[in-house]
Amino acid sequence: MSDKNSGLIASLAHQGISRRTFMKYCATLASMMALPPSAGRAMAEAMAAARRPSVIWLPFQECTGCTESITRSHSPSLEGLIFDAISLDYQETLMAAAGHQAEEALEKAIEENKGKFVLIIDGSVATGLDGAYSCIAGRTNLELLKRVAPHAGAIVAMGSCAAFGGIPKANPNPTAAVAVTDIIKDKPVVNIPGCPPIPVVMTGVLAHYLTFGSLPELDKLGRPKAFYGETIHDRCYRRPFYDQGKFAKTFDDEGARKGWCLFELGCKGPVTYNACATVKWNGGTSWPVESGHGCLGCSEPDFWDGGGFYRALSMPADPLKMAATAAVVGTAAGVAATFANRAKKGAAKSAHETVTLADLEK
């Protein structure tokens, strides 16, 4: 890793990124985050001058997919380079140090950058058996989080597991996994959900923090509004087909080949707030719906238990269990009522007495 005191721009220049390219990038980033045009320049200036911020990345119950997403899929884009250019003081997957050296690096980074470092967490926090399901260097994730978080300048929960519990929290949640925000209550946490999340969202949040010294505006689930403000469905290029009532019924029918809407194949786009439809993936190459598969809703809480990826939102989430029994009970009740009514009529008939003229004259 290069000299910690050199600015970001110097690091980028070293890797062949011109100032002009960097300015364009910052302007794009600012516009993506719905900031005014002047913010692009401010962002570029702040980022260019910024000392590379110390970042501590704690991996908990995770699959490393989030790290893969950010370090590889976009490489060698600006995101990747900026990510290289921060001072990543502790990241088990990427760091050279191991064992005690690694733990020392963590403690040193905390001491040297108290109140300033960015804490990124990916993976959920196991709380079952006092957190023993997931340990690093003999410490549980829970202990580690409680040790590091109070000293962080900003906390970012990276990926759906850290943000909402994700797959480890899926029913029946054997490790009693929870989200970072279930443990950290006294500090703002930026949630960047997604399985994995979009790299530019991460750099957008980082750029905002470097430029304004604060976190971007968040929604009630702690997500940056700029990226999670609209649903996939509302920004989907297949939306006109939904409105026209043209749907793919299987993955290889005529509708699928013509690129019609995937709603009936279980697309969760209407209830998923993310930027995939506009930012896309792999440097803007494509995204799941463009490749012909419906959205899984991976950036929403509990997406894993949302009733099946291939069932349309308007279809039952589970098979109906009561219908058959209810039909039998209903029929039985109808038949019972019939007999009761017949008996009543029979009784009325047998109790009937003929009225004679003599009766009326009484």
Partner 1 sequence: MNEMQFLTWVRGPGLDIAIGIFLLGVLWRLIEIYTLGRKQDVAPGRQRDGASGLHTVFRRSVPPPGMVRKSPVTYIGGYVFHIGLAIIVFLFAPHIALIRDLTGLSWPGLPSQFVDLVTVVTMAAMVVVLFDRINKPAKRYLSTFQDWFTWTLTFLPVLTGWMAVQHLLLPYTTMLALHILSVELLLIFLPFTKLFHTFTVFGSRWYLGKINGHRGVPV
Q: Which of 209, 214, 199, 237 is nearest to 81 (CA)?
A: 199
Amino acid at site 5: N
Residue with tokens 């925000």: 181
CA distances from 296 to 161, 281, 304 (A): 15, 15, 9
Task: Rule CB under 8 A: say whether 316 interacts with partner 1.
Answer: yes
327 lies in the binding site for partner 1 (CB under 8 A): yes
Contact between 311 and partner 1 per CB under 8 A: yes
Query: Does the protein bind partner 1 through residue 335 (CB under 8 A)?
Result: yes
Task: Verify binding: residue 172, partner 1, rule CB under 8 A.
Answer: no
d(CA 55, CA 109): 8
Residue type at 265 in one-letter notation = L
Q: Is 343 in the site for partner 1 (CB under 8 A)?
A: no
Q: How far is the CB of 241 from partner 1 (least distance, A)?
A: 10
Instruction: Give yes or no for residue 318 binding partner 1 (CB under 8 A).
Output: yes
Query: Can you tell me which residue has the tokens 């029918």?
Result: 253
Residue 342 Cβ vs partner 1, minimum distance, rounded to whole Å: 8
When asked if residue 341 is in the footprint of partner 1 (CB under 8 A), the reply is yes
φ, ψ of residue 219 to 5 degrees: the values are: -85, -175
Question: What is the rounded (10 degree) CA torsion for 167, 171, 172, 173?
Answer: 30
For residue 237, give both structure tokens. 């290029």
Return the residue of 137, 315, 343, 347 that touches partner 1, per CB under 8 A.
Answer: 315
Spell out, one character per residue from 262 to 301, where the chain touches partner 1: x when CB under 8 A holds, - when not.
Answer: -xx-----xx-------------------------x--xx
Min CB(277)–partner 1 separation in Å: 15
Task: Establish if 322 lies at the interface with partner 1 (CB under 8 A).
Answer: yes
Give the separation between CA 158 and CA 192, rounded to whole angstroms: 5
Taking CB under 8 A as the criterion, the residue among 284, 305, 343, 346 binding partner 1 is 305
CA-based nearest residue to 288, from 217, 232, 220, 350:
232
Closest CA to 69 of 161, 131, 133, 178: 161
Check residue 235 for interaction with partner 1 (CB under 8 A): no
Return the residue of 197, 199, 224, 306 that touches partner 1, per CB under 8 A. 306
Beta strands at 154-158 and 189-192: parallel, antiparallel or unpaired: parallel
In the list 325, 350, 354, 356, the residue contacting partner 1 (rule: CB under 8 A) is: 325
- 285 or 310: whose CB is closer to partner 1? 310
Does residue 346 interact with partner 1 by CB under 8 A?
Answer: no
Can you list the positions of beta strands (E) in the chain? 54-59, 87-90, 118-122, 125-126, 135-136, 139-140, 154-158, 177-178, 189-192
**By C-beta, is 129 or 315 nearer to partner 1?**
315
Rounded Cα distance between 185 and 125, Å, is: 14
Q: Is 176 in the site for partner 1 (CB under 8 A)?
A: no
Q: Closest distance between partner 1 and the C-beta of residue 234, in Å?
A: 8
Residues of this chain that interact with partner 1 (CB under 8 A) are 231, 234, 242-245, 247, 263-264, 270-271, 297, 300-303, 305-307, 311-318, 320-323, 325-327, 329-331, 333-335, 337-338, 341-342, 345
